[in-house]
Chain A
Amino acid sequence: MRPLGLTASCLVSSLGAGKRATLAALRAGTSGLAPCRFETVDLPTHVGEVPDLDAWRIEGDLARFDSRNNRLARMALAQDGFAAAVEAAITRHGASRIGVFLGTSTSGILATEQAYRLRDPVTGALPAFHNYAGTQSTFSVADYVMRVFGLSGPALVVSSACASTTKVFATAARMIESGICDAAIVGGADSLCLTTLYGFNALQLLAVDPCRPFAAGRAGISIGEAAGFALLERPGAAAVQLLGVGESSDAHHMSAPHPEGLGAALAMSRALDAAGLRARDIDYINLHGTATLAGDSAEDRAVVSLFGTRTPCNSTKGHTGHTLGASGIVEAVIAELAILGQFRPGSPHTGAPDAAFGCHYVTSACPARLDHVLSNSFGFGGSNASLILGRAA
């Protein structure tokens, strides 16, 4: 594919609001994970919660979009000069030439979870104030973002579980390549809700202690929440570029990865092909690494099959938790920060990597020359995506 410039980006996660706070936490090795006090949840687990989201309540014309998920999106849009960059892009290209391609897994389902507790005892009806289209609807976050900026290009939400916000980079690249639009806002949001906390608990995939990606003693995931966005255009002055995206399906199982990581390896090799790069050109891999027994093992095999045992890699989920559908944009922005800062993030909580693994897993943040970074996102339904960001020559 032809490279695209990351003209602007923004991020909110449990590490903080904005890229400056995120960078400081990555350099210091800080984790955003804390014992779960979310809503009425009573589970022995840690979460990466974004505090004070009530301050980002959505009012006025767009009040129907008020949900935890869209508040997170609103908070992210207010960081890092992102809104001003979008306004400048509208001036350059026109509002109808900018696409909005976002991802989420559970969107604003928390609003419906809460509304279900208030059902009419006789009829079972949901309370009159509940707005499905603005909150729970899968499309809600793109609908909201498009209206915030008054955009009239194509807009859609990819909901391919935890691969969603990596796959949107591929959609955006194709839409720009084909001339359907000139620029695209990609990214998305996923927010804490009972569905994912109790759902992953039912699958026995929630860790009690903070998640420990790629550790021998790893015991499952810690769920986090995040929103982030990137503005993609044909490369101008952007210091970091999107060079390639690769997508694949496992065709193995709905919620368990292919044990040999076949689908994961396919996504990575397709990303390399799209970027016109070889495995040895990759300086750092930000792994999906959610800290499940099977997932980390499959990803290790996939990485070793393509990259051997020398390419430095790790998962930053110990920093942010697994932000599910948002993990792609979170880790794309982390990759961007790593390239700009010429450093490799670390892997808080991991300690010693699993001795059975073959990949070159690094646990501490350190300076590094990074020209090309690959980032992995794999999800339920066997949905896999990998993207490659590079330093502009």
Chain B
Amino acid sequence: MSARVWVEAIELLGPGLPDWEAACAVLAGNQPYAPAPVELPVPLRLSPAERRRAIPSVRLALAVAEGAVAKSGHDPASLPAVFAASGADGETIGAVLAALTLPSREVSPTRFHNSVHNAASGYWSLAAGCRAPAASLSAYDASFAAGLLEAGVQAMCGGFPVLLVAYDLPYPEPLHAVRPIGACFGVALVLNPARTDRAIADLRLDMASARPATSCADAGLEQIRRGNPAARALPLLAAIAARATAAIHLDFAAAALEIGVAPC
């Protein structure tokens, strides 16, 4: 059995990949990849107080979530969401861990509530005024595969569109040494269980036995893919950008997620 969904909108943000439209030519192989630093936008949908507290992972996740939802035409308040990240906000966790080594052990209340893995999904529901379910999950380096399967299955079982947001950022030292993550990368997809005239790709998701993951042809993109769990999405995004019909494999737990992709 497989889950079938249609991709209605995509947004991404990564080094040299400032948005989906600009990235398409690069991902399709029509334009050379040129790395560039990532600028994390300020999430304008949040109140000024919440905006000031917005930590890097929240800024990244909200930037791609807002982009994809805007392009999809759906009301942001209506969409259930799945947030996939390998861990919680690194800057926040690092600050809490450092504070706990001091004699006072004073943890900032804001740092503490930002330290939860679901900080981005919580801020998204605030930003979007959305009371639909939001999940925050991890499968370590396979977090994108886990999020895609969870979102796809949720869309199919619920019969309504679901927002998937995958994002990961590098941790500060000394955490970086024990959990190296490359340049920050975020991607959001709106998945619809029904084919509409907005559909850009048809996805069939199923579990498969472990096998080598699909890689990126371009060396620069391949380096991003290997460096960041959210960037494991790149081979799928490249197939969508090239309007290719393909079978993409992502490492997932002790198995693989097989994605049959076809253009619409």
Q: Are A154 and B207 in contact (CB under 8 A)?
A: yes
A-side contacts of B118, CB under 8 Å: 159-161, 379-381, 383
B101 within 8 A of A: yes
CB-CB contacts of B129-152 with A at 8 A, as 1s and 0s? 111111111111001001001100
Interface centre among A133, A137, A250 (most CB of B within 10 A): A137
Instruction: Tell me the dominant secondary structure on chain A's binding face.
Output: mixed
Give bound CA distance, A117 to B105, whole Å.
12
Least CB distance from A52 to B in Å reads 25
Q: Mark B148-191, 1 if CB is under 8 A from A, else 0.
A: 01100110110000000000000001110111000000000000
Does B1 touch A at the CB level, under 8 Å?
yes
Q: Are B100 and A198 in contact (CB under 8 A)?
A: yes
Interface size class of B (residues with CB under 8 A): 35 or more
Q: Are A203 and B113 in contact (CB under 8 A)?
A: yes
Binary per-residue interface labels of chain A (142-164) against chain B in the complex, 1 for a CB within 8 Å, 0 otherwise: 11001100011111111111000
Interface check A366, CB cutoff 8 A: no
B135, A105: Cβ atoms closer than 8 Å: no
Q: Which of B66-90 contact A (CB under 8 A)?
A: 77, 80, 86-88
CA distance A133 to B177 in the complex (A): 12
With A251-B129, A254-B122 as known contacts, state yes or no: A154 contacts B136, CB within 8 Å.
Answer: no
Contact across chains for B254 and A152 when beta carbons are under 8 A apart: yes
Contact A160:B207 (CB < 8 A) given known A126-B174, A130-B178, A254-B119: no
With contacts A130-B178, A202-B106, A382-B126 taken as known, whether A249 is within 8 angstroms of B253 at the C-beta atoms is no
Asked if A112 and B97 make an inter-chain contact with CB atoms under 8 angstroms apart, the answer reads yes
B234 is an interface residue with CB less than 8 A from chain A: no
Report yes or no: B150 in contact with A171, Cβ–Cβ below 8 A: yes
Contacts A198-B106, A248-B132 aside, 10 further interface pairs with beta carbons under 8 A come to: A112-B175, A119-B174, A126-B175, A126-B177, A137-B140, A156-B137, A180-B1, A203-B109, A203-B112, A263-B131
Sort A-B residue pairs by CB-CB distance and give the 10 closest, nearest first. Answer: A179-B1, A381-B122, A159-B117, A247-B133, A199-B112, A155-B253, A138-B138, A249-B125, A156-B146, A132-B178
User: Can you list 29 A-B contacts (CB < 8 A)?
Assistant: A125-B177, A126-B175, A132-B175, A137-B138, A152-B210, A152-B255, A154-B146, A155-B254, A156-B253, A159-B118, A174-B150, A174-B157, A175-B149, A178-B157, A199-B112, A202-B107, A203-B109, A247-B80, A249-B122, A249-B125, A249-B132, A250-B125, A251-B128, A251-B130, A255-B113, A263-B131, A380-B118, A383-B121, A383-B136
